[in-house]
Structure 1
Amino acid sequence: MATQQLHRGRLIDHIQLVVRDLAASRRFYTAVLDTLGIPIGGSDDSYFWADELFVSTADSIAAQGHLTGRHHLAFQAASRAAVDAFHKAALAHGGRDNGGPGERPYHPGYYAAFVLDPDGNNIEAVYHGEAERSAPSVSIRF
Structure 2
Amino acid sequence: MEAQQLHRGRLIDHLQLVVSDIAASKRFYEAVARVLEIPVGGSAADYFWIDELFVSTADSQAAQGHLTGRHHLAFQARDRKVVDAFYRAGLEAGGRDNGKPGERPYHPGYYAAFLLDPDGNNIEAVFHGEAKRSAESVVVTF
Q: Shorter-normalised TM-score: what interval?
A: 0.7 to 0.9
CA offsets 1:54-93 (integer angstroms, 9 cap, x no match): 0000000111110000000000000100000000001101
Kindly state the Cα deviation for residue 4 of structure 1 after the two structures are TM-superposed: 2.8
Q: Distance in 1 between matches of 2:52 and 2:93?
A: 21
Aligned to 1:45: 45
Aligned to 1:33: 33
* Contact 2:6–2:51, Cα closer than 8 Å, also in 1: no
| CA root-mean-square deviation | 1.7
Unaligned runs of 5+ in 2: 135-142
Kindly state the Cα deviation for residue 39 of structure 1 after the two structures are TM-superposed: 1.5
Q: Distance in 2 between matches of 1:41 and 1:23?
A: 16
**Higher strand proportion:** 2
Residue 65 (1) aligns with residue 56 (2): no
Percentage of matched positions with identical amino acids: 76
Residue 134 (1) aligns with residue 95 (2): no
- Structure number with greater CO (CA < 8 Å, separation at least 6) is 2
* Contact 2:7–2:51, Cα closer than 8 Å, also in 1: no
* Contact 2:16–2:53, Cα closer than 8 Å, also in 1: yes
Q: How does 1:101-112 map to 2 (within 5 A)?
A: 101-112=101-112
Q: How does 1:65-84 map to 2 (within 5 A)?
A: 65-84=65-84
Question: Aligned to 1:129, what secondary structure does the other structure show?
Answer: coil
Question: Aligned to 1:87, what secondary structure does the other structure show?
Answer: helix
How many pairs align? 132
Q: Distance in 2 between matches of 1:6 and 1:115?
A: 26
In structure 2, relative to structure 1, the CA distance for the partners of 1:107 and 1:121 (3 Å cut) is same
* Contact 2:103–2:109, Cα closer than 8 Å, also in 1: yes
With normalisation by structure 2, the TM-score equals 0.87
With normalisation by structure 1, the TM-score equals 0.87
Question: Aligned to 1:54, what secondary structure does the other structure show?
Answer: strand
Question: Aligned to 2:13, what secondary structure does the other structure show?
Answer: coil
